[in-house]
Amino acid sequence: MSNIKSKTRDYLGTVKTVSLATCMDDNPSCRIMEIQKVEDNLKIWFVTHKSSPKMEQIDKNNSACIISFNNETFRDVRLSGTIEVFEDMETKKYIWKEELAAYFQDGINDPELTVLKFIPKRLEYRDMKSGGLLPEAENV
């Protein structure tokens, strides 16, 4: 794993939420999302409701961007990539946590439960405490 990928993976392990932007009529639409799982290859898993407006946006254009800033460490990341949508039980079980039951009335069997997998294509990592005003960047 490259140094930038390793730093990004370490960073993502320190945050619970990120800002996820999708495309809405050629304009960005951004919201806070809770990370459910980060794989070693930097694929990031989220859950959402099937009826969420972002689902229509992703259906029309699956390009997305994730950004996060940690004001304690003065580090930030920006990841550009695509989103894949999953509704199968195997994938739901892969990411399920009991805390999600607060958002899905029927738990893992809730028909609204939809899983999103963000697949990064480009990484940008910046550590301002170490003097990095410009991010280190890498295509994945």
pLDDT tier at 1, thresholds 50, 70, 90: low
Is the confidence at residue 114, as pLDDT, over 90? yes
Q: Is the pLDDT of residue 133 over 90?
A: no
Is residue 101 domain-resident?
yes
What is the rounded CA–CA span in Å between residue 38 and residue 102? 21
Q: Is the pLDDT of residue 5 over 90?
A: yes
Note the pLDDT tens digit of each residue in 89-106. Answer: 999 999 999 999 999 999
**Nearest in space to 124 (alpha carbons), one of 115, 132, 113, 114:** 132
103 within 8 A of 52, measured Cβ to Cβ: no
Band of pLDDT at residue 83, cut at 50, 70 and 90: very high
Domain count, the chain: 1
Residue 138 lies in a domain: no
The rounded distance, in Å, linking the Cα atoms of 82 and 25 is 17
Give domain status of residue 97, yes or no.
yes
Range of the domain at 81: 3-126
User: Which phi and psi (to 5°) does residue 3 adopt?
Assistant: -60, -40
Strands 27-34, 37-38: pairing kind: unpaired
Q: What is the pLDDT of residue 131?
A: 76
Residues 10, 39: Cα–Cα separation, whole Å: 11
Please state, in angstroms and rounded to a whole number, the distance separating the CA atoms of residues 60 and 99.
30
Q: Are 54 and 29 in contact (CB under 8 A)?
A: yes
Q: Can you give the pLDDT at residue 135?
A: 87
Q: Which H or E element spans position 4?
A: helix 3-12
Could you give the CA distance from residue 56 to residue 33 in angstroms, rounded to a whole number?
Answer: 17
pLDDT of residue 69: 94
Domain assignment present for 71: yes
Tens of pLDDT, residue by residue over 14-28, are 999 999 999 988 889
Percent of the chain with pLDDT strictly greater than 70: 99
Residue 105 lies in a domain: yes
Residue 122 lies in a domain: yes
Task: Provide the CATH number for the domain around residue 26.
Answer: 2.30.110.10
Please state, rounded to an integer, the average pLDDT across all residues of the chain. 94
